[in-house]
């Protein structure tokens, strides 16, 4: 029984050793990443600075180009269609 307990302890300690060896680089990376600055400084003006120059903001209506799409009375379409259609070519009469 004591031999079985020793074998279990040896197997558990070797498995634990493998896991601890794997976690040391991870632990070192976590510790070193805590020393890094959170974000790099951004180039440009500080948004919290009230004296910073900004572009002008102008009013522009969102519905200014709106056209009503209500149904309208039909217009004279035949004249418009005839004026937009290509003119037929006249065939020269053959000389006999």
Can you spell out the DSSP letters for 10-48?
HHHHHHHHHHHHHHHHHHHHHHHHTTS-SSPPPSS--TT
pLDDT of residue 73: 82
Q: Which residues of the chain register pLDDT less than 50?
A: none
DSSP helix/strand/coil, 52: coil
pLDDT of residue 37: 75
d(CA 6, CA 11): 9
Sign of the dihedral defined by the CA atoms of residues 9, 12, 18, 22, in that order: negative
pLDDT of residue 22: 63
pLDDT of residue 13: 67
pLDDT of residue 69: 82
pLDDT of residue 1: 65
pLDDT of residue 19: 56
pLDDT of residue 95: 66
> By the 8 A CB rule, do 11 and 18 touch?
no
pLDDT of residue 7: 74
């Amino acid at each position: 029984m004591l031999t079985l307990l020793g074998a279990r302890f040896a197997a558990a300690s070797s498995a634990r050793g493998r896991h601890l060896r794997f976690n040391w680089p991870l632990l070192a990376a976590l510790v070193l990443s805590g020393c890094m600055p959170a974000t790099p400084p951004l180039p440009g003006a500080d948004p919290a600075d009230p004296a910073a120059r900004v572009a002008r903001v102008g009013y522009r209506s969102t519905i200014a180009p709106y056209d009503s799409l209500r149904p309208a009375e039909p217009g004279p379409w035949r004249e418009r269609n005839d004026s937009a259609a290509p003119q037929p070519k006249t065939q020269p009469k053959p000389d006999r």
